């Protein structure tokens, strides 16, 4: 299975915030949308980074109570790890495991086409394994 198949099922909506948005406003977006990360994009839509719950917690640990009023640009992860729609789910799972990250922006060339989480990847892999098991059962039943 490829990443593009996941996006067909979950959709391509990506929640983005601006680099000058406060940590508090981003935390509210993450909470309201029940998501773990948002992409950080400039006014022209260019991808600048990603901010996750983990980034916010680390910022709070380093800067204390004043963190919520600071800009997300101070805490976002700039070194993005991305995948393409044609990337195999198994490759993406290895990538998130090796890099210890939870979200992968999906780029088709330079164009952002979605975002997948480790949860999306695991669900896709489980669905694929269940389908394979059903096909094997059907094959054995037909052969028997």
For the chain, the domains span: 3-143
Query: What are the pLDDT digits (tens) for 93-127?
Result: 999 999 999 999 999 999 999 999 999 999 999 99
Residues 106 and 114: beta-carbon distance below 8 Å: yes
The answer, as to whether pTM is greater than 0.85, is yes
| 58, pLDDT greater than 90 | yes
Length, in residues, of the chain: 144
Q: What is the pLDDT of residue 137?
A: 85
Domain 3-143 CATH (choose: 1.10.10.10, 2.60.40.420, 3.30.420.10, 3.10.580.10): 3.10.580.10
| 48, pLDDT greater than 80 | yes
Radius of gyration of the chain (CA): 18
| 144, pLDDT greater than 80 | no
């Amino acid at each position: 299975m490829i990443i593009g198949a996941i996006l067909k099922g979950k959709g391509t909506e990506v929640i983005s915030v601006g680099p000058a948005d406060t940590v508090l406003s981003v935390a509210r977006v993450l909470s309201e949308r029940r998501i773990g990360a948002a992409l950080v994009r400039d006014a022209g839509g260019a991808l600048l980074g990603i901010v996750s719950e983990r980034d916010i917690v680390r910022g709070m640990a380093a800067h204390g109570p004043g963190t919520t009023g600071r800009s997300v640009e101070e805490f976002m992860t700039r070194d993005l790890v991305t995948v393409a729609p044609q990337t195999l789910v198994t490759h993406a799972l290895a990538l998130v495991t090796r890099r210890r990250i939870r979200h992968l922006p999906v780029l088709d060339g330079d164009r952002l086409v979605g975002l997948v989480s480790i949860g999306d990847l695991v669900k896709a892999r489980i669905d694929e394994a269940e389908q394979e098991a059903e096909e094997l059962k059907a094959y054995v039943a037909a052969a028997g």
